[in-house]
Structure 1
Amino acid sequence: MKYARLELYVSQPRLNRFLRACGNSKTKAQKLYKINLRVAQAFYPVMNLFEIFLRNALYNRLSLHFNDQDWITTQKNLFMNHPSLAPSRYFLRGCVLKAETKIRPHPITPGKLVSEQTLGFWTALFDNHHYILLQGSIMGAFPNKPAAVNRSAVVTKLKNIREFRNRIYHNEPICFRGNSIDFSFASQILNDVHDVISWIDPKLLDYTGYFNNVGDKINLPNNL
C-alpha cells in the first residue's frame, strides 16, 4: 500500500510519530507501523491468559476469605457497600450493578458477573481502601511470591500492566520512548506479566509460553 493511502485512513497525526522516529523515511515509517501492530498482536494471547489467571486466583482467594463461592453477589451490599468506600463512589459495587444491567433479562449468576468484570475491577481490589477491608487476604492469591513483595509492589506491576494493556486495546503505539524507537517498556511489561503469573503458579508459565512470541516480534525493528 502506498504511504499516502495508509495516511488517509490511519490519519496523518498518528503516522507522524512513526515518520519522525524513522528520519522522515516513509518506507521505514510504514514498516515500523506494521511492526508495532505485530508486537501488539503478539501480546493479545499473553494478556488474555494473564487476566484469566489473575481473575480466578483473586476470586478463589476471596471465596475462602468470605467462605462464600458467590461472594461477588452477596458482598455487593456488604463489603462493597462499606461506608469507608464512599470516596471511591463504591467502585466495585458499581461494576457489579453495571454487569447485572448488561446481563438482564438473562439469569444473573456469579459466573456471569465474574466474566463481565474488567481488569480494572480486579486490580482495584489492591487499592488501599479495599485492601484494608479485606485484611490483606488477597495477597494469598500469590502463594509463590517472594517474601519481600508487598502490596505496593503488586500495585505497581498491576498498574503498569493495565495501562499497557489499555494502550494495546485502544490501538496506541507501544514502540516509542519519547521520539525514539524503543520496545524496552513492552519488554518490561512482559517480564511483569511473567512475574505475576509465577506468583500465582510457576507452572502456568509453561502454558503461557506456548502462545508467547512477543520477543521475536520486538526484535523486528532491528531490520528497519
Structure 2
Amino acid sequence: MKYQGCFLRNGTKESAELIKVALSKIQNNSGGKFDHNQLVAGLGFGFWRYLFAGGKDAQFDAAGKVLMKVFPKKPKSTPSVQYNQKWIFRELSNINNFRNRLAHHEPICFKGAIKDTGYARNIYQSIFELLNYMDVDTASVFSHFSDQVIAVCDEIDKL
C-alpha cells in the first residue's frame, strides 16, 4: 500500500516517513494486510504528540483543525487558559517526557534526599483529564490500576 496522505508536504515529511515505516512493518508481519487499528498502535507516542505541533508547514496545519475534534469534551478557552492545539501539544509533551524518564529509569519522585510525588501525580492527572476530554470512559480504563498509582504515591510520601 502506498501512503498518499496529507503529510507529503514540506515540514511534515518525517511524519509521512513514520507512517510508511509503520505500514511496512505491519504488512511484512501480516502477509500484506493491515487495518487502521494496527496502524494507530504501530505509531509511537511522539508521532501523536507532534500531530499537535504548530508552526509553518507543521503537522497540525497539514491535517487541519479536524484534529481538535479528538477532544470533544475539552473545556472552553478562557482569557487565562487557551485550550487549543498548543495547549494539547504542551500537555502531550509533558506526558511524553515523563514516559521517557520512566523508560530510561530516571527518578521521578526523588531528587537527592528530596522526595516529592507531585510530578508523578500531576502527569497522572493530565493523562486522566486528556482522556476525559476525548470522551473516554476513564472509570473503566483506570479501574485496574487507578488506586494503585495513588497508593504507590501515598506510600512514597510516607517514607
- TM-score (ref. length: structure 2): 0.81
Q: 1:170 to 1:133 in 2, by over 3 A?
A: same
More helix by share: 1
Pair 1:166-2:100 in alignment: yes
Divergent runs of 4+, >4 A: none
Are the equivalent residues in 2 in contact too, given 1:100–1:108 (CA < 8 A)?
A: no
Q: Which residue of 2 aligns with 1:137?
A: 66
Q: 1:126 to 1:178 in 2, by over 3 A?
A: farther
Aligned identity (percent) is 25
Question: What count of residue pairs does the alignment treat as equivalent?
Answer: 146
Q: Which residue of 2 aligns with 1:115?
A: 41
Q: Which residue of 2 aligns with 1:80?
A: 7
Alignment of 1:83-94 (within 5 A): 84-85=10-11, 90-94=13-17
Q: Which residue of 2 aligns with 1:207?
A: 140
The structural deviation recorded for 1:178 is: 6.3
Max Rg structure: 1
The SS at the match of 1:79 is coil
Q: Which has the higher contact order (CA 8 A, sep 6+)?
A: 1
Task: Flag structure 2 segments of 5+ consecutive residues without an equivalent.
Answer: 78-82
The structural deviation recorded for 1:177 is: 4.6
Pair 1:126-2:52 in alignment: yes
| Cα root mean square deviation, aligned | 2.1
Q: Deviations over 1:144-201 (max 9, x none)?
A: 0011111111111110011111222232221125652111110100110011011011
Deviates more, 1:190-199 or 1:161-170: 161-170
